[in-house]
Amino acid sequence: MSGEAFGAERGGDDTGGVRMVHFVCVVGMLTTLVYVVNRELTQARPDTYLAVAQDADSEVVAKASTRTPRIDWKLLRGLHPATGAATADLRRMDGRLVALPGYIVPLEDEAGVAGEFLLVPYFGACVHTPPPPPNQMVLVRMSAGRAVRVAMGAVWVHGVLRIDRHEGVYGPVAYQMVGSHLEPFLE
């Protein structure tokens, strides 16, 4: 159906079609901007993502980072959101030090830093969209009063993972983690 016919059906006015074109252009520009900013943040200054206590030995943290088992969101989907039943592989990770990649959704508004945040598998989750299911969100509380700089890029969060349901501001969260440090996701 042509734009003329569409406008004629609605009374001869095609401003809705023009608005839709403008909306699509704006969304496209915003998507490009988010991609560029995300790329710049994750590649330009990896040190801005680290959350290490002032007196911590950075060599010890670096060695721990290379030995920490890396898990993914597919493993976390092994927890049934309604019943709480977990796969054997997931149960083995409960209470262990792991590294999980994801995006930070801050729960505090403290000038770009957060000591508590949600870790989610994709950019933009929980902000202007329905939240992911509980088995795809991790409530992270940084240990020893540490805070991290909130960035738009993906990060690895290192910490002790617990299967522990929590009712949060974005709904139920199936996991909690005591975070030790972050590192940029550069893979």
Provide the CATH number for the domain around residue 56.
Answer: 2.40.50.870
Residue range 134-168, pLDDT digits in tens:
999 999 999 988 888 887 899 999 999 999 999 98
Q: Which of 36-50, 102-116, 122-136 has the lowest mean pLDDT?
A: 36-50
Averaged pLDDT, 69-79: 97
* Same domain flag for 61 and 96: yes
Domain count, the chain: 2
Residue range 17-56, pLDDT digits in tens:
545 444 444 444 444 444 433 444 434 333 334 443 333 4
* Same domain flag for 109 and 165: yes
Q: Transcribe the chain into DSSP letters.
A: --HHHHHHHTTS--HHHHHHHHHHHHHHHHHHHHHHHHHHHHHH-GGGG----TTS-HHHHHHHHHHSPB--HHHHTTB-TTT--B-HHHHHHTTSEEEEEEEEEESS-BTTEESEEEEESSTTTTTSSPPPPGGG-EEEEEGGG--EE--SS-EEEEEEEEEEEEEETTEEEEEEEEEEEEEE---
* Same domain flag for 36 and 85: no
Question: Which has more confidence, 60 or 178?
Answer: 178
What is the pLDDT at residue 35?
A: 42
* Same domain flag for 32 and 84: no
Question: Which has more confidence, 30 or 173?
Answer: 173
* Same domain flag for 54 and 100: yes
* Same domain flag for 153 and 61: yes
* Same domain flag for 140 and 108: yes
* Same domain flag for 92 and 151: yes
Residue 170 structural domain: 47-184
